[in-house]
A and B are shown apart, each in its own frame.
Chain A
């Protein structure tokens, strides 16, 4: 029978950098009821006029296979790769994390940030902004630790990902 267990997939999508391409991708996910856990996009090749979208999604193996096939048939899409099944890959995101507090809580926040290799990019006498890059899990763990210490707000980039080894997408 068909496998109903869900898994996470990280898709790398190379697209023609033209108007509406992001709307097409997002419309595909909403129209067909697929999940988007995170989506990032930026131009990666000015001369070829290409952008790269990284999408983190979840679904049954059949749904993930569908998502890849559906993305692949959009006209301005050059290449789709499911990094999760096509060998090992690196996935990272960056977050800016604002924590406000004084006294012991402030000292503790700074100590944990140091252990997590988060950088202080802004400071006042009663707040810090930490910049941190890492896996989604690591960012989640750090943000959870900051919660009781005066977490104010978080801005995350979403996942950027790339396959390990010498070959390109």
Chain B
């Protein structure tokens, strides 16, 4: 240090650090205790700084996509921001699927990507990719840091953006010279963000209008989504309070499962394409719909022109762009779900109008009739050597896992098994269910489960998987072994990309083009080669023992559950059909209504 520098009071106040050290200081100040990453040339300075500190733990994944899903699992199960560190070029491009996944499901993630040194940017340098260009539509926001003096501020801003308003992924692209250069770290900034300040306080007039609609309703329904989970556990508590206070029925979206207790009498189950009969018909027939933190996704609405045609719609969302995007609503409320729910409860109590209890009781009688249809019924032959029905496997897993008394977290891959998990698992609390809803990313569940287990070391974490999906990030078994993460992979092995096969059966004349899972590995041996326990059940008589053993061992497990290959996931609203044109399972004895007529030419083009 030169003599002049010691005279500089500013230098004395704040020492100079390398960009990489500033990154880690800022992460620590944000309360980060773990990051999921994979090294490479451009981020070596950060790995060097990581080596020399103890505050932040690094989990070495086996593929950058998995790092992002792990961070998502961590974030969804804790409510904190998940953090990812990857190198430039292929490290960054590998992370893109995870980023889009987090964007679609509103998961707060900060992803640090290495970049070639600033003077090489634009030169097609080794492992250069236009990361901010590629990830612009894949993130909520992204940054390319061009000056070491900006590093600290940008990291703090990225966390603010990732967690505020509607949460989402943020990329910080860090050129290698910026990580090496020395600069000052000024700590957490006090100033509010210059341009990004999402509104969280609901408009009292909108709350009053909503309550007036709710009080006047004869056939109400509460439709709650992932926004309630994102708002934190207090929002879920308030949701239950509101539903109990009003006596309204409540349904959850795929992303909202756990926001309302599944065992509650007022719960109608999940709605949407594979939702329950009662939830979808109640949505179709309601006169007032109270949407809290859901976005009228096409998996939920079915054919838009036929969606809940006679209802007044209240839509509470933190993102103004979700309002009137797909469905015109009558009473938008913009704000944080916790604050909105609290305000709705207070206004409901303050409003003297008596709700129409007679009409609502009649509505419940109608709902009970729909419920009596028992749309999730399936028939499991009881002979010990009978083939296992996938629904039964999940039910047994649920029953036996409940007996352990452990806090249980479920992740899934994508396909029929995912929908069966959503239908048959009873989520009582928020943050226990991680699934790729918006993007539908096969390969999500195993790494997400890894992130959950890191955050909750003593919890039971189960990835309910399909034999096809699991192969998309199977390399993460190695990460489980390295960190002794006892994640259980429960494969419903139907030897088909079952969801694809189901669509081909129902919509493409049973032409099973490329949907057979040929040449599968022996999952038991695969588990063993990854230092995990491998188990298999091929008939009903073996199922409980396999599940019992899986739950008993304190190690990673792959349980290969060979299930009925022909089973389809019902109820199903085919793409382009309306809620009241639902297909029910083969066991449903009652007349099917329009049944297969729900499949239209226009519906065929939809995914």
Contact = CB atoms under 8 A, between A and B. Distances in A.
A75 B165 CA distance: 11
Contacts of A45: none
A2 B136 contact: no
Nearest to A23: B136
Contacts of A78: 194-195
Interface string A1-36: 010000000000001100110011001000100000
B136 A75 contact: no
A2 B313 CA distance: 14
Contacts of B194: 16, 78
A77 interface: yes
Contact of A72 (B133, B141, B321, B324): B321
Interface in B194-224: 194-196, 198
Contact of B140 (A65, A72, A75): A75
B144 A2 contact: no
Interface in A70-115: 70, 72-78
Interface centre among B132, B136, B198 (most CB of A within 10 A): B136
B321 A16 contact: no
A129 B580 CA distance: 66
B330 to A, nearest CB: 13
Nearest to B305: A1
Interface string B318-361: 01110111001000000000000000000000000000000000
B227 to A, nearest CB: 15
Contacts of A24: 136
Contacts of B161: 75
A151 B238 CA distance: 69
Given A70-B321, A73-B165, A20 B136 contact: yes
Given A23-B133, A23-B136, A27-B137, A16 B325 contact: no
B324 A62 contact: yes
Given A62-B328, A78-B195, A27 B321 contact: no
B136 A69 contact: no
A73 B140 CA distance: 9
A36 B515 CA distance: 41
A62 B196 CA distance: 24
A66 B141 contact: no
Contacts of A27: 136-137
A20 B140 CA distance: 13
- Size category of the binding interface on chain A: 20 to 34
A65 B136 contact: no
Contacts of B193: 75
A19 B118 CA distance: 14
Interface residues of B, number: 23
A61 B327 CA distance: 13
Contacts of A75: 140-141, 161, 193, 195-196
A65 B324 contact: yes
A136 to B, nearest CB: 28
B34 to A, nearest CB: 26
A159 to B, nearest CB: 23
Contacts, number: 46
B135 to A, nearest CB: 11
B226 to A, nearest CB: 17
A20 B132 contact: yes
Contacts of B165: 73
A78 B196 CA distance: 7
A78 B319 CA distance: 16
A73 B334 CA distance: 13
Interface in B134-172: 136-137, 140-142, 144, 161, 165-166
Given A2-B328, A16-B195, A78-B194, A72 B320 contact: yes
Nearest to B160: A75
Nearest to A14: B195
A66 B321 contact: yes
Nearest to B304: A2
Interface string A104-133: 000000000000000000000000000000
Contacts of B166: 73
Given A20-B132, A75-B140, A75-B141, A69 B323 contact: yes
A78 B323 CA distance: 20
User: Which one of A19, A23, A66, A77 has the highest number of Cβ atoms from chain B below 10 Å of its Cβ?
Assistant: A66
Interface in B100-136: 132-133, 136
Interface in A41-74: 62, 65-66, 69-70, 72-74
Interface string B415-428: 00000000000000
Nearest to B193: A75
Interface in B385-428: none
A64 to B, nearest CB: 11
B320 A69 contact: yes
Given A65-B324, A66-B325, A78-B195, A73 B137 contact: no
B168 to A, nearest CB: 10
Given A20-B132, A24-B136, A73 B320 contact: yes
A76 to B, nearest CB: 6
B219 to A, nearest CB: 22
Contacts of A77: 195
B353 to A, nearest CB: 30
Contacts of B144: 19-20
- Residue from B133, B144, B166, B321 whose CB has the most chain A CB atoms within 10 Å: B321
17 contacts: A19-B144, A20-B132, A20-B142, A23-B136, A24-B136, A27-B137, A66-B321, A66-B325, A69-B323, A72-B320, A72-B321, A73-B165, A75-B161, A75-B196, A76-B141, A77-B195, A78-B194
Given A72-B321, A78-B194, 19 more contacts: A16-B194, A20-B136, A20-B142, A20-B144, A23-B136, A27-B137, A66-B325, A69-B320, A69-B321, A73-B165, A73-B166, A73-B198, A73-B319, A73-B320, A75-B161, A75-B193, A76-B141, A77-B195, A78-B195
Interface of B: 132-133, 136-137, 140-142, 144, 161, 165-166, 193-196, 198, 319-321, 323-325, 328
- Across the A-B interface, the 3 shortest Cβ-Cβ residue pairs: A69-B321, A75-B141, A78-B195
